[in-house]
Structure 1
Amino acid sequence: MQQTEQIFGLRAVIEAITAGKSIDKIFMQKGLKGPLYKELETLARKENLKLSYVPKERMDRFTKMNHQGVVASISPITLVDLENLVDEVCSSQEKPLFLLLDQVTDVRNLGAIIRTASCTGVHGIILPQTGSAPITADTIKTSAGGVFQVPIAKTTHLKDAIFLLQASGISVIAATEKAENDLYEVPMASGTAIVMGAEGKGISPSVLKSVDHKAKLPMQGPIGSLNVSVACGVFLYEVVRQRKA
């Protein structure tokens, strides 16, 4: 099992960002000053990377090496470029299928979703740059290797990804209890992208305003919602069902 890699030191982290490495999060010791620290902060914000300021005691728990007040976690998988992913899929697939995840922060839920995505023929998963679960060893384990089968891309704003998909002729459908129609009433047989939100928060209002259709699960019992990975499986297998009809 490949673990999330950690790198230490100012220069190492700056060079990793500059080289385009898939960085999950950066930890910086509180109160540090100097041009290199400023450079790192500016670069991290420019790339929309998660940056957390922590006390020295916590930094020292990461490693006994000379960390210079900076530690970064690098994703164990290589992310793909969003525009290239959409172009390649749309040019090679008659009925593209994408999955967008909004504010899904649990690493095991993410892994379970990726596993189902692999089983249902999803051509690409799109995550927001911030506010999403990191891809960790737990994610990889829960995905049963699906992270190595389904291309994953990140975007600064999910709305940008939605506009790109729509411009490529793909219908974007949001899974939300605020919908009037059940998912069985929404056409998904052609090029489709499903947007799933986190339990509790759901899909953000700005993303909901951007989609083509909204669909909900018909709930029969007293419990009002499903685990997001289960709900995602229901939606993706409805796509499979419609495409086999």
Structure 2
Amino acid sequence: MEVVIHNIRSLFNIGACFRNCDAFGIQHLYLAGYTATPPRPEITKTALGADQVIPWSHEPDILALLARLKQEGKTIVAFESDPSFPSVDAVDVPEQAVVLFGNEPDGLPAHVLASADRCLYIPMKGTKTSLNVSVACGVALYALTRK
């Protein structure tokens, strides 16, 4: 499984996503769009070395990246805070899936969502309708890798 984080502003969230990827055995982390890249002190602080062990690449053009991954036979699974999408608990995804996350204020742009093979959401019981991207990444990867 691989992960794409798209247009993430917070360097601390980027570092936390590296940690999540390490925790759940992710093979590659793509830092897409304007997402910052290591080395940055804020990323290093929250990554706690995961940025040194998780293979990563910066991919400015998300659509070109997704097209390339699809050509490689990967299934693109996007996460959004839209309850009309199936719950992460209700579906299985292929082991070679690429899991895609956007930023919290805007989510993923419609043209990026249209490139996904499947869109999922994380059910929430409280009054808030979204999670911090690093939290969503951790919850989603836990749910997807425990099956």
What is the CA–CA distance in structure 2 between the aligned matches of 1:190 and 1:134, rounded to whole Å?
26
Give the superposition deviation at 1:190. Answer: 2.4
Give the superposition deviation at 1:133. Answer: 2.9
TM-score of the pair, normalised by structure 2:
0.92
Residue of structure 2 in register with 1:127 after alignment = 31
Give the superposition deviation at 1:212. Answer: 0.2
Mapped pair 1:173 → 2:77: yes
Deviations 1:45-82 (A, max 9, x none): xxxxxxxxxxxxxxxxxxxxxxxxxxxxxxxxxxxxxx
Mapped pair 1:216 → 2:121: yes
> Secondary structure at 1:165's aligned position in 2?
helix
What is the CA–CA distance in structure 2 between the aligned matches of 1:159 and 1:185, rounded to whole Å?
27
What is the CA–CA distance in structure 1 between the aligned matches of 2:35 and 2:59, rounded to whole Å?
11
Residue of structure 2 in register with 1:195 after alignment = 100
CA contact (8 A) 2:19 2:46 kept: yes
- RMSD of aligned residue pairs (Cα, Å): 1.3
CA contact (8 A) 1:102 1:204 kept: no
* Runs of at least 5 residues in structure 2 that lack an aligned partner in the other structure: none
Q: Across the two proteins, how many residue pairs are aligned to each other? A: 145
- Within a 5 Å distance, the mapping from 1:1-245 to structure 2 comes to 97-128=1-32, 130-135=33-38, 136-178=40-82, 179-242=84-147
Give the superposition deviation at 1:104. Answer: 0.8
| Percent of aligned pairs sharing the same letter | 26
* Runs of at least 5 residues in structure 1 that lack an aligned partner in the other structure: 1-96
CA contact (8 A) 1:127 1:158 kept: no
Residue of structure 2 in register with 1:89 after alignment = none
Larger Rg: 1
Question: What is the letter of the counterpart of residue 131 of structure 1?
Answer: Y
CA contact (8 A) 2:88 2:144 kept: no
Q: Tell me which stretches of 4 or more aligned residues in structure 1 moved more than 6 Å.
A: none
Give the superposition deviation at 1:168. Answer: 1.4
Deviations 1:91-111 (A, max 9, x none): xxxxxx110011111000100
